[in-house]
Amino acid sequence: MPAYQHLLDDAIKYGVTKGGSVEEQIDNTMDKLFVNFGVEILKKLPGRVSTEVDARLSYDKEGMVAKGLKFIDLYKEAGISKERVLIKLSSTWEGIQAGKELEEKHGVHCNMTLMFSFAQAVACAEAKVTLASAFVGRIFDWYRENTDRKSFEPHEDPGVLSVTKIYNYYKKFDYSTVVMGASFRNTGQVKALAGCDLLTISPALLSELSQDHSTVKETLTVEKAKACDLEKVHLDEKAFRWEHNEDRMAVEKLSDGIRKFAADAMKLETMIKEKILNVKNGK
């Protein structure tokens, strides 16, 4: 997009100036580009922006921590406080532990993404990360593709039920982690989660909701959560891996999400490599 060409140009200049091998220049360019877009978003909106760590680091705790701190340093150089940034990490065991270290040791807020299982939610709460993104729509998609059910009423939608359970568990046991419902497929799912801490909703669904004048009742509340029949769970690494593995949907959607995020990163790398080489060749 021409309007954002200057952000790419600045990132390439940064990457080339940092020097090193072509691969190192590509890596630095990509990091700077992500931060440039984050800074641009923060000029227009209040609150925080999420910047995602490369999905190819999803099973590398140390790599995720290092990348997250690098993003924070780049934001600092751009005059943005770490309080306005969320480092987005895959909800693997390694990703959750990276989030725990970033929060505890460095005061860096984390957004755990690709959450599909209750085990992931419990581990994120125990790690005391700032935000957990639970994927309503992708869970819904899996059940449509892998069961005989092709439609669900909002109150029985598996994605809605997943977020509801996570919200109730967090509130019942006073966890500080914020729950954010994500990847909605229809407005019924959105309305069924009224009262959730946060919801991220596409422009298309927001437009549809703006034309909906029906009364929406708050379905998720702290009071209801406190009254839920849920037991507190502790998961070490072994228990986490077993419990997560027992959820076929979660295993498949997590690995699929990581692969797709990684594929997108590689496409971007290819484009940036071409542009870096053009700059070096004076084109």
Domain regions of the chain by residue span: 112-269
pLDDT on residue 165: 98
Residue 222 has pLDDT above 70, yes or no: yes
Residue 261 identity: F
> How far, in Å, CA of 224 to CA of 168, rounded?
8
pLDDT on residue 282: 67
> How far, in Å, CA of 81 to CA of 86, rounded?
11
Tokens of 124: 């994120």
State the chain's mean pLDDT as an integer. Answer: 96
Sign of CA dihedral 18, 20, 26, 31: negative
Residue 67 has pLDDT above 70, yes or no: yes
Residue 62 has pLDDT above 80, yes or no: yes
| Residue in the structure block whose two tokens are 């924070």 | 72
Positions of E strands within the chain: 49-52, 85-90, 109-115, 131-135, 178-182, 198-199
**Catalytic option among 67, 82, 88, 172:** 88
Q: Which burial class, exposed, middle or buried, applies to 167 when counting CB atoms under 10 A from its CB (0-12, 13-18, 19+)?
A: buried
pLDDT, average across residues 84-96: 98
Characterise 249 by phi-psi region: left (phi > 0), alpha (psi -120 to 50), beta (else): alpha
Interior/surface letters 185-200, b for 16+ CB within 10 angstroms, e for the rest: bbbebbbbbebbbebe
Pick the range with the lowest mean pLDDT from 2-11, 63-72, 245-254, 256-265: 2-11
Tokens of 262: 């990684």
Residue 60 has pLDDT above 90, yes or no: yes
Helices (H) and strands (E) in the chain, counts: 12, 6
Residue 153 has pLDDT above 90, yes or no: yes
pLDDT on residue 224: 97
Residue 90 has pLDDT above 80, yes or no: yes
Residue 279 has pLDDT above 70, yes or no: yes
Q: What is the pTM of this model?
A: 0.95
CATH topology for 112-269 is TIM Barrel (3.20.20)
pLDDT on residue 283: 61
pLDDT on residue 9: 93
- 151 three-state secondary structure: coil
**Inter-residue contact 54 to 11 (CB < 8 Å):** no
**Inter-residue contact 113 to 89 (CB < 8 Å):** yes
**Inter-residue contact 259 to 252 (CB < 8 Å):** no
**Residue 88 is among the residues annotated as catalytic for this protein:** yes
> How far, in Å, CA of 184 to CA of 178, rounded?
18
